Amino acid sequence: MTRLRFTPIAAALPATVPFTGPETLERLRGAPFRARLGANENGFGPSPRAIEAMARAAAEVWKYGDPDSHDLRHALAGHHRVQPENVMLGEGIDGLLGLLVRLLVSPGEVVVTSDGAYPTFNYHVAGFGGRLHKVPYRDHAEDPDALIAAASETGARLVYLANPDNPMGSWHVGIRIEAMLDDLPSGSLLILDEAYAEFAPAEAIPRIDPQDRRVIRFRTFSKAYAMAGARIGYAIGPAELIAGFDRIRNHFGINRIAQIGVLAALEDQDWLAHICAATAAARSRIGDIARANGLVALPSATNFVAIDCGRDGAFARALLDALALEGIFVRMPGVAPMDRCIRVSCGPEAEMDAFADALPRALRALA
């Protein structure tokens, strides 16, 4: 009988999932959540134009999607005022991060990130045999100085920074990111994850030449455009690096209906403005709910708010469980000291009302 044999890298890894989905949790609890506020999804919904475009496209789902994503790629280039060769589409930022690590990191090479930052990136680094070097957060934010120092000390191939940040919602001004590039050691590439950029203040977005070989930027349609289920993200970077993705990517990985839907969403900037306004109002509401219960909402430039529970990670975890019993799905940072917080996604008024109703009961249950 043939014996199943994993590669040495895969055999050394645990079977793990970076995030447990709310559907899994609903199956375990035997009931749906009444407020789905844990995955940073956009409950305000996508552009009606996108929904209509996808409905029309459904009849032609027998066709493969355009492997070059030509129309969407050119539309994104125009939107960002770059050339199409500076843009690459992929199965969300998650898929593109995996491709980038595969493209640039050989087994044993060092990658620098922050302890507690987006775990899916770490998952890809481990999966391709890279070595993670982590630095701590500073004042609820990723620390550019510490990241640069670690890259210089280790000869890091990649340096990961999210701006705005997940899971804390903090952000750096764009000129700080620009200065970071000037200090980046030769041979290192900055991964700038801008998944939440549409929610951020204008001064948070750096001015970077798309041909700058020191950085690659990632954006998504999952957050502000409310199309997480479409699984489309994109990279902006120097043409030479962008072309490298064609060596290894799944050329038919983006389905046809999703391509058509996100193109319609991109063209509806009025709906995007509506979403950003609704998100800002929900952020303010979450802050009010936190204060009314003696908790502290941290400043956020995203579609979620980190709430400081004032205790430790064990208390925050217990609060998470108590909220789940109330039918409220939220998450929390996984690393101390940020794990004293819970992280609550912005949502429609009914879900904000449900959170406001459940939080005092959950806190009383812990008292």
Query: Rounded distance, CA 256 to CA 65, Å?
Result: 4
CA distances, 183 to each of 20, 103, 146, 265 (Å): 37, 24, 11, 37
Report helix, strand and coil shares of the chain as percent, to nearest 5: 45, 15, 40
Give the model's confidence band at 1: pLDDT under 50 very low, under 70 low, under 90 confident, else very high: low
- What share of the chain has pLDDT > 70, as a percent? 100
CB atoms near residue 306 (< 10 Å): 28
pLDDT of residue 367: 87
Per CATH, is 19-45+270-366 categorized as 3.40.640.10?
no
**321-347 confidence digits (pLDDT tens):** 999 999 999 999 999 999 999 999 999
The whole-angstrom distance between residue 140's C-alpha and the CA centroid of its chain comes to 17
Q: What is the CA radius of gyration of the chain?
A: 21
Asked if the domains at 19-45+270-366 and 48-267 fall in one CATH topology, the answer is no
**183-192 confidence digits (pLDDT tens):** 999 999 999 9
Average pLDDT over residues 4-16: 89
CA distances, 14 to each of 4, 17, 162 (Å): 16, 9, 26
Locate the domains of the chain by residue range: 19-45+270-366, 48-267
List all residues 6 or more positions away from 161 whose beta carbon is below 8 Å from its beta carbon: 114, 142, 144, 147, 177, 180, 190, 191, 192, 193
Whether the pLDDT of residue 103 is over 90: the answer is yes
What's the mean per-residue pLDDT of the chain?
96
User: Which phi and psi angles does 365 have, rounded to 5°?
Assistant: -65, -30
User: Which phi and psi angles does 5 have, rounded to 5°?
Assistant: -135, 115
**212-241 confidence digits (pLDDT tens):** 999 999 999 999 999 999 999 999 999 999
Q: What does 220-279 look like in DSSP terms, one character per residue?
A: ESSSTT--GGG--EEEE--HHHHHHGGGTS-TT-S-HHHHHHHHHHHH-HHHHHHHHHHH
Q: Which fold has domain 48-267?
A: Aspartate Aminotransferase; domain 2 (3.40.640)
**16-68 confidence digits (pLDDT tens):** 878 889 999 999 999 999 999 999 999 999 999 999 999 999 999 999 999 99
- What share of the chain has pLDDT > 90, as a percent? 96
pLDDT of residue 160: 98
- Residues 168/303, Cβ–Cβ less than 8 Å: no
Q: In what order do the strands lie in the sheet with 341-345?
A: 296-297, 304-308, 341-345
Average pLDDT over residues 252-269: 97
Give the model's confidence band at 180: pLDDT under 50 very low, under 70 low, under 90 confident, else very high: very high
Average pLDDT over residues 98-103: 98
pTM over 0.85: yes
Whether the pLDDT of residue 308 is over 90: the answer is yes
CA distances, 145 to each of 17, 112, 159, 308 (Å): 30, 12, 12, 25
